[in-house]
Structure 1
């Protein structure tokens, strides 16, 4: 049995005619009939029976053809993944934190290639450790790794250990994201203790190592039990902030357009004095290519627009 014969059978099934199938396959009808008989002899069943309208699968033939469809589909998918790409193909895979400034930049970047014939862009939001692993294993072309500056030495050592180079992207302080109807939305600078009793939305796979504000700022602990809602899909966070009254989320600074479109507000917090860094990590022996650099330039422009 070979894949070519399976493709012959599927074409006969599709057309319902050996004559039409032979024409579509650019082969003579006798040769196609011979190939079908040889395959039927090999597998020990009759795949097609003749009718007044042409041919149709037998009961066992229909079962065999369903498996043949699966096999051919998987082979085609495998070939498409690993066959040589044309020189003008647009290919890029990145691993990044859950950050709106990055996703906004990526959307603008991807929009440039809508008319290109070969595009394979992969955008993965993950934790800092996941991002490091992705780029170290070759799954991603580059990664944006986020960490608190107090852990910079740890992450620099980790990147060097994985034979990765890095370059700074920006340094920032986290902000509070909440609904414009949130009881604390009227504050420009929200007192940390006033968050007590409200629900914090947390990404469940945040970077490691990491400490909460209450662990780092000894005077910032809440007197009442904390409320947390853990999520693993960034797409749901805006809806939750709108629907769960009093909920909030710690985020990196965001584009105004994204905040306003979702009916949200960004607020400072006096105790959010820990600096965070996003750095670009990539393999030491494989510099970032043309498309990767174009995306990074677009991300930097997004950061500049946030800074105003």
Structure 2
């Protein structure tokens, strides 16, 4: 049994295809098939079987793949101790919720690449439920979805049902975002009555139900639905609308740094509803040493931003 064979079966499990897995190792399909057959002959049982979705592990195969991951991760940690963390290698994938992507992806990529230049980190953007699905299916290693405190129990049950681990990174306020010269900019705290007759900018149509749940009569409000955050911020900066948005989504943003936009607490909403950001990953597959370092850095960057 060789280390390469363990790497081979891990990749076959990930890709569900020998031909696709072979591309990772710059091997031909027959070469990888031969490697797997030799390992199965040595162990005395089949590791994979075929169904409509491709190759899936047998009962013994699941255990072997799990043990193989632990062995490979342990070897990676031993190498890092011997040669220094800067020499860590591998591929990591992370999917962030839209606001988190806008605020933290650039900073995370820069810092991680500086410290671990040989690890290939890919960061993509998606919405909450899609992030849960991607991590559950193994399409990405870790994810950072966001939801309200009202949905916390429901989302935790969903994560548990998908055998996903989750750690709360930060909890923050839901605030009113306004332009520098907006009439409400002079007020330190906003009451619901102050929002009468205002035009709301709704990012992707996600916040209307939230406003309704907070006691705002959305039937009497004009909504501009936009699908681009920069367009949303431009409209607000020109005082053509206001928005309700999680406060931590405003970090590292030029509109706020240049004081074109600001945020205010909303009476009976800011204290009532909180926005929660979680880090999620599989409970069943151990994280590699490089993945643990990414997890640590991600939490430090997000939780370390001032509110």
Q: TM-score, normalised by structure 2?
A: 0.61
In structure 2, what is the equivalent of residue 107 of structure 1? 106
In structure 1, what is the equivalent of residue 268 of structure 2? 271
Contact kept, 8 Å, 2:178 with 2:239, in 1: the verdict is: no
Contact kept, 8 Å, 1:159 with 1:165, in 2: the verdict is: yes
1:276 aligns to what SS in structure 2? strand
In structure 2, what is the equivalent of residue 237 of structure 1? 232
In structure 2, what is the equivalent of residue 197 of structure 1? 197
Distance in 1 between residues matched to 2:298 and 2:193, nearest whole Å: 34
How far residue 164 of structure 1 moved from its aligned partner, in angstroms, is 0.9
**1:128 correspondence with 2:128:** yes
Contact kept, 8 Å, 1:128 with 1:206, in 2: the verdict is: no
| 1:130–1:256 CA distance, 2 compared to 1 (3 A) | closer
| 1:117–1:125 CA distance, 2 compared to 1 (3 A) | closer
Contact kept, 8 Å, 2:88 with 2:119, in 1: the verdict is: no
- 1:99-118 alpha-carbon deviations (Å, 9 max, x no partner): 25x54433122124279876
Unaligned runs of 5+ in 1: 1-77
| 1:105–1:295 CA distance, 2 compared to 1 (3 A) | farther
Q: TM-score, normalised by structure 1?
A: 0.61
Contact kept, 8 Å, 2:199 with 2:223, in 1: the verdict is: yes
Distance in 1 between residues matched to 2:273 and 2:166, nearest whole Å: 21
Structure 2 counterparts to residues 166-177 of structure 1, below 5 A: 166-177=166-177
1:95 aligns to what SS in structure 2? strand
1:245 aligns to what SS in structure 2? coil
Structure 2 counterparts to residues 37-52 of structure 1, below 5 A: none
In structure 2, what is the equivalent of residue 260 of structure 1? 257
Contact kept, 8 Å, 1:176 with 1:269, in 2: the verdict is: yes
| 1:295–1:270 CA distance, 2 compared to 1 (3 A) | farther
Distance in 2 between residues matched to 1:252 and 1:291, nearest whole Å: 30
Distance in 1 between residues matched to 2:170 and 2:183, nearest whole Å: 31
- 1:56-96 alpha-carbon deviations (Å, 9 max, x no partner): xxxxxxxxxxxxxxxxxxxxxx99x94349x8545322222
Match of 2:24 among 83, 94, 97: 83
Matched residues, number: 224
| 1:199–1:92 CA distance, 2 compared to 1 (3 A) | farther
| 1:290–1:198 CA distance, 2 compared to 1 (3 A) | farther
* RMSD of aligned residue pairs (Cα, Å): 3.4
- Which is higher, the Rg of structure 1 or of structure 2? 1
Distance in 2 between residues matched to 1:157 and 1:288, nearest whole Å: 22
Unaligned runs of 5+ in 2: 1-18, 27-86
- 1:184-228 alpha-carbon deviations (Å, 9 max, x no partner): 111111112222222222222649xx94233343xx436x72121
Distance in 1 between residues matched to 2:297 and 2:205, nearest whole Å: 27
Contact kept, 8 Å, 2:176 with 2:242, in 1: the verdict is: no
How far residue 174 of structure 1 moved from its aligned partner, in angstroms, is 0.7
How far residue 275 of structure 1 moved from its aligned partner, in angstroms, is 2.1
In structure 2, what is the equivalent of residue 282 of structure 1? 281
Contact kept, 8 Å, 2:169 with 2:279, in 1: the verdict is: yes
Distance in 1 between residues matched to 2:146 and 2:237, nearest whole Å: 26
Distance in 2 between residues matched to 1:117 and 1:88, nearest whole Å: 8
